Structure formats: C-alpha cells, structure tokens
Amino acid sequence: MTIHKEGYKIIAWSTLLFGAVNILSFYIFSFYTPWISWLIFVVTLVLLFFTISFFRIPKRKYTIDGNAIVAPADGKIVAIEEIQADEYFADRRLQVSIFMSPLDVHVNRNPVGGEVIYSKYQPGKYLVAWHPKSSTDNERHTTVYKSNEKEILVKQVAGALAKRIVNYLQQGQAVDQAGEMGFIKFGSRVDVVMPLNVRLNVKIGDSARGGVTVLATW
C-alpha cells in the first residue's frame, strides 16, 4: 500500500496537530487526571490513522479488457437506471451510480482506455451524495471517453463532506484503462453513463473496486 499525493499535505498537518494536542494534553492532565490524557491520545490516534487510510492506494491487479467498462471508483452500487442524458449526450442512456463512503479508497480510475473527448468542471451544491439531484445540482466534473468508436461519460460528484474534486485529464489526452482519472476528498459519488445496449455485470447493492470490478461489457 502507498499514500496518494493528494494526502501528503493533509497528513503532514494532521501529524503535527496530533503531536501538539497530545503534548499539551500531557502537560495539563497527566498529573491529576492521566485517564483524560490517554483518552485524548487514543481518539486523536484513531483520527490520524483514519486520515492516513483515506489516502491509501492498495496494491491491486487491475482489469485490462477492451470489451469491459470497469468501475471508476470504490464503493456501493446505489443506482442503475435509464436516464435522459442532460450533458454532452442528448439521448437515453444507462446510468450506474457508485456511492463512495469516507472509508472507501478515493482514487478515481479510467473505466476504459482511449481518448478524452470532453472534460468540464461545474460548480454546484453539496447535497448528500445519495440524493437524487446530486448528479445534476452538486459540484461535479464530467469526463467523456471515446474507446473503439464508443463513448461513455463519467461524472465525479461532490457530496456533503467532499469539498474538492480533482481531475487530472484534459480533452484530447490518450489514457489507459484503470489509470488515474482523479481524486475526490471525503465522501462522494461517481456516475457512469453508458449506451443502453451494454451488458450489465452488476446489480444494486454490489460493492465495486475501482479499476477492477467490471460494470458492463460492450
């Protein structure tokens, strides 16, 4: 396991804060009420470990298959529905939504290899990520990939806790399947919008692993 670059600064500041809080706690409480010092130590240590684990990149064998659309994020499949596309596409499409809890790996990955043909950031609200309108009203970044003359859309959606969406891709860029697309901090949602004729490989309630789980095949 390694640590993602997006976490370096936050982890550094969290470590400094952990040290300062516990030094102060030891100075104030250790003589008369040492149990308070120990309680503060345990709570702050758990929070520090949580912060570090949030930015983890586990070692995985990623799925590389030109006929597959892999999950761009870790999380739970919370919606599978036919929608009327409201961005880039103008027809009916199949949308699969993945909810990322704060405990999930938050690196986002390319669901297919090919070319980035659309990339757009849109500011918005911070509704809870499972809210039906979060896909259209929340802060989000939309990326469209073209792979073997087929196009799919991925929407990174901020949640109530996610205050920063990072996307590393630019229009015209060639990308590899399961390569890094971006990162969303502290809870969020990712929507994958595909043609109606794909063959689904998941159902609502399934757990997805970014870059590994096959959502559908062409």
DSSP string, 57-88: E--------TTEEE-SS-EEEEEEEEEE--SS
Question: In the predicted model, what is the mean pLDDT of residues 30-34?
Answer: 82
Cα torsion angle, 172, 179, 160, 90, sign: positive
The predicted pLDDT at position 174 comes to 96
More confident site: 110 or 185: 110
35 and 90, same domain (yes or no) = no
Cα 4 to Cα 104: distance, rounded to the nearest angstrom: 13
Residue 37 bears catalytic tag = no
Q: Higher model confidence: residue 138 or residue 71?
A: 71
| Structure-token match 């590994």, residue found | 212
Are both 189 and 83 inside the same structural domain? yes
Instruction: Report the amino acid identity of residue 166.
Output: V
Same-domain status, 38 and 74: no
pTM over 0.75: yes
Pick from 4, 1, 2: which is nearest to 184 by CA? 4
The token duo for 38 is 């120990």
Dihedral angle at the C-alpha atoms of 117, 184, 211, 170, nearest 10 degrees? 20
Tens-digit pLDDT profile for residues 100-121: 888 888 899 999 999 999 999 9
Can you give the residue range of the structural domain that contains 127? 68-217
Residues 25 and 75 in one domain: no
User: In this structure, is the dihedral angle defined by the CA atoms of residues 58, 204, 185 and 195, taken in order, positive or negative?
Assistant: positive
Q: DSSP label at 5?
A: G
- The closest alpha carbon to 207, from 60, 57, 75, belongs to 75
Answer yes or no: do 126 and 200 share one domain: yes
Q: Are strands 75-84 and 92-100 parallel, antiparallel or unpaired?
A: antiparallel
* Residues 91 and 46 placed together within one structural domain of the fold: no
How many CA atoms does the CB half-sphere of 210 hold within 13 Å?
A: 29
Given 25, 97, 188, 207, the catalytic residue: 188
